[in-house]
Structure 1
Amino acid sequence: MKIHHLRSATFIIETEQHFILIDPMLGRKGSLPPFSVFRFKLAKNPTVELPSNASDLLDQVTHALITHSQTFGFKPLQHGDHLDAEGERFLTMNTIPVATPKKDQAYLEKYGITVSHGVDDWQTVDFLGGRLTAIPAQHGHGWIHKVMANGCGFFLELPNEPSIYISGDTVLTEHVEKALKQFKPDITVVAAGQAQMDVGQPLLMPTDEVMEFIRRSPNKVIANHMEALNHCPVDRSALRNTLTAEGLIEKVLIPEDGETLVF
């Protein structure tokens, strides 16, 4: 298995037969509005361009997973950092089959996206000769997760490949802990940027929860969702410093945009 990290939460899983695109934010730098106006530095999103190898990798995509997209079915509130207009265009023009939370299926189909699997929380479905399980995700602490509309993480098991748990946009919950303990994934992916809006508590795991997630992960961890969105204050350097202080640096991979990890 190869993991091609593109930007933020967007990456591609390459297996012998498939290229699986995760959470396609594919627009140009600055194509989305700021997600924070006064809490963090004001800037349009994404704050960086896609890496130079993105086009060649996207040409090979066969399937996609979208961990979350809609909020109350209202288009202006779509989670553009996981599915933006260019991501939609890519999926529809290429008729890419998509797996997504069941509650998002009708919304995506409304906009012409081909949904092959709408998966309920803790449901396991057949997927590419293996299995795909949806793990509940809580998109923030406190009241804000209800406004954000929760998606899911995905645990993916494919033949002759390491298993991978993409935890998605979530804080550390009993569901996340259960997935780590029950499935014992070979690879886990954690969103480490500690995103926050101008009001409310963090939308992703704060750093102490990221550290606990890493401790509970049985094997290698990939940290992403950093340095591409203006509401994510934790960058790669800060994360490395914390991991070093906690004695966890050898367990975690922090890919640069465009980097390929081989497992």
Structure 2
Amino acid sequence: MNIQQIRSATLVINYAGKKFLIDPFLAEKGAYPPFPNAARQDQNNPLDSLTVPINEIINGIDAVIVTHLHLDHWDDAAKEALPKDIKLFVQNEEDAEEVRSSNFQNVGVLQEDTIFEGIQLIKTKGEHGRGEILNLMGVVSGVVFKHQDEKTVYVAGDTVWYDGVQEAINVHKPEVIVVNAGANQFLEGGSIVMDKEDVYEVYQAAPEATIISVHMESANHWGLSKEDLKSFAAEKGFSSKLFVPEDGESYTF
């Protein structure tokens, strides 16, 4: 198994002989305006250029998983670049209808037990923030990968730490956990993905797992830097279990 950080929440996961693209955010640097009501209103999104060419990212992809349809997980550049007949999994029928409206022809809805080419894909729940902002952020999901020849991987998606994440860890016992941990936030309402304390909760819930922190410093509303998270992990004593990749970096397990 190999997990490559592309940018933001975008990953390429080679798992049990199949290549998955997660949450493609593929536009050129600065292609979109900044997210409103947030920091860095002078910076367009994405904040950085891709370090891996788009054709290399999508070459040989067997399936795409889109955890939800926010711009930084499913953008126009991805819609243009991906073959319209590629297998594409989404979280619910509402998202499937929207993706099909962009002429994608092979869209499936992840279930609690989806089997793709012998790989078990299990949809998990998430909460995209806390309190009133949840109503604005909408429904989100994550996914667990399972195969007899691979470690179990939990891609948590855009969620804060809450009992649903604890439940996913308890039930599936993942050996690798990918968290979106940029503490992204608007001027009111708090973090809408994990912050450093949330990552520490993940570590405490699964102290033997490897944690990979992504979705950092990639859009204008980020709130936690990679260096600050690494420093915090050192203070709390879990640096050896935490990877904070640069764009393009990959890990083999």
Is TM more than 0.5 here? yes
Partner of 1:255: 245
Whole-Å separation in 1 of the counterparts to 2:51 and 2:27: 12
Partner of 1:191: 180
Q: Contact (CA 8 Å) 1:26, 1:87: kept in 2 or not? A: yes
Instruction: Work out which of the residue numbers 177, 182, 206 in structure 1 matches 2:195.
Output: 206
Q: Contact (CA 8 Å) 1:100, 1:115: kept in 2 or not? A: no
How much does 1:234 deviate? 0.9
TM-score, with structure 2 as normaliser: 0.93
- Inter-CA distance 85–134: structure 2 relative to 1 (3 Å threshold): same
> What is the identity, as a one-letter code, of the residue corresponding to 2:43?
A
TM-score, with structure 1 as normaliser: 0.90
Count of equivalent residues? 251
SS at match of 1:169: coil
Q: Contact (CA 8 Å) 2:34, 2:41: kept in 1 or not? A: no
Partner of 2:95: 104
How much does 1:55 deviate? 3.3
- Inter-CA distance 54–251: structure 2 relative to 1 (3 Å threshold): farther
Q: What CA RMSD, in Å, does the superposition of the two structures yield over aligned residues?
A: 1.7
- Choose 241-250 or 226-235, whichever is displaced more: 226-235
Q: Contact (CA 8 Å) 1:167, 1:190: kept in 2 or not? A: yes
Partner of 1:80: 71
Instruction: Work out which of the residue numbers 223, 227, 230 in structure 1 matches 2:217.
Output: 227
How much does 1:151 deviate? 1.2
1:118 aligns with 2:78: no
User: 1:48-82 CA deviation, whole Å, 9 max, x = no partner?
Assistant: 0110455323212121111001xxxxxxxxx1100
Q: Contact (CA 8 Å) 2:38, 2:185: kept in 1 or not? A: no
Whole-Å separation in 2 of the counterparts to 1:201 and 1:233: 10
Q: Contact (CA 8 Å) 1:99, 1:117: kept in 2 or not? A: yes
Partner of 2:150: 161
- Inter-CA distance 36–241: structure 2 relative to 1 (3 Å threshold): farther
Identity of aligned residues (%): 29
SS at match of 1:226: coil
Whole-Å separation in 2 of the counterparts to 1:2 and 1:13: 6
Q: Identify unmatched segments of 5+ residues in structure 2.
A: none
Whole-Å separation in 1 of the counterparts to 2:35 and 2:185: 8
Whole-Å separation in 2 of the counterparts to 1:115 and 1:171: 31
> What is the identity, as a one-letter code, of the residue corresponding to 1:19?
K
